[in-house]
Amino acid sequence: MAAIIPLPQAARLAQDAPLDRLVQLVAADMAAVNQTIVQRMESRVTLIPKLAGHIIAAGGKRLRPLLTLAAASLCGYQGQRHRKLAACVEFIHTATLIHDDVVDASDLRRGSPSANALFGNEASVLVGDFLFSRAFELMVEDGSIDVLRVLSRASAVIAEGEVLQLSTTHDSTTSEQAYLEVVRAKTAELFAAACRIGAIVAGRPASEEEALRTFGLNLGIAFQIVDDVLDYSAEQARLGKTVGDDFREGKMTLPVILAIHRGSEAERAFWKRVMDDSAMREGDLSHAQDLMRRHHTLRDAMDRARHYGAIAKDALGLFSDNPVKQAFLDIVDFTIAREF
């Protein structure tokens, strides 16, 4: 499992290449998206661009808008509508990130202080609302009711997924199925919508829209599983990133769920104490990581991620071979092999 075994520098660079290729293929579009993002988070209320800018400038991979741009390109789209819609997707994602940090009371986001830590929960709730509304304004400017349908539905499902996650948090009896339902709703649905929009603006037939939806949904599930594995990975620690955030928050992710399913009575009592009762002690995280190693749960969670990645790749079968399609296929590998 690449993600937890230290790699030599060259291997890590090669591993990032697929995303770079995709970024290069849509570079002009992405520059326009970034410009739209900066312009449209403006407000005479200066705290709004300040707070939103903090999150958006922090970077991240811009994976979701990239998917919209690339999907449109894969569908042969020649216009510019996809740029504004890609910005919408990023706004929706950013709004949910900001609200998530409030919900989780997180102090850090991508290694920098989170918006709520810097600006307070109050402003974070409201600026999230603003970005969300702004996303809908951008969609309305585009004018496609089909796009509006896809993204308003996705937004409602994301919120449902987040609430569902709340109810599984600190519940060590959470099933793998319940976990998958959370992941699908809170993460994969927006990946699916981001991809679908590319086919919609290009006016492609339903079969291509559906193929891209399938691709995005399964890529999104793989992405989230890998994220959840990385939260326990030794490699993360080596890169100076925090490890165990999910553990401290009592989040029931796949590596934990598998460890509970496979554990002895004594081990389950341990998981119950740390997850349900939040009764953490010094050394609990390393013990949890030991149990995961013993039951190979990180490795097997990565196998599950590869399964969804395979579905995503197969969904692209109906598109003819070209550099964008190849980059799309590579992005699945990148998602699974990434270290951040």
Site residues (CB under 8 A) for its own copies?
43-45, 47-48, 95-96, 99, 102-104, 121-123, 125-130, 132-134, 136-137, 139-140, 143, 145, 148-149, 152-153, 155-156, 158-160, 162-164, 166-167
Of the two residues 11 and 163, which places its CB atom closer to its own copies in the complex? 163
Q: What is the number of other CB atoms lying within 10 angstroms of the CB of residue 61?
A: 14
Of the two residues 136 and 340, which places its CB atom closer to its own copies in the complex? 136
Of the two residues 149 and 294, which places its CB atom closer to its own copies in the complex? 149
Q: What is the number of other CB atoms lying within 10 angstroms of the CB of residue 31?
A: 11
Of the two residues 179 and 319, which places its CB atom closer to its own copies in the complex? 179
Q: What are phi and psi of 240, to 5 degrees?
A: 85, 10
Minimum CB distance to its own copies, residue 185 (Å): 9
Of the two residues 75 and 190, which places its CB atom closer to its own copies in the complex? 190
Minimum CB distance to its own copies, residue 155 (Å): 4
Of the two residues 123 and 217, which places its CB atom closer to its own copies in the complex? 123
Minimum CB distance to its own copies, residue 246 (Å): 15
Of the two residues 48 and 201, which places its CB atom closer to its own copies in the complex? 48
Q: What is the CA radius of gyration of the chain?
A: 20
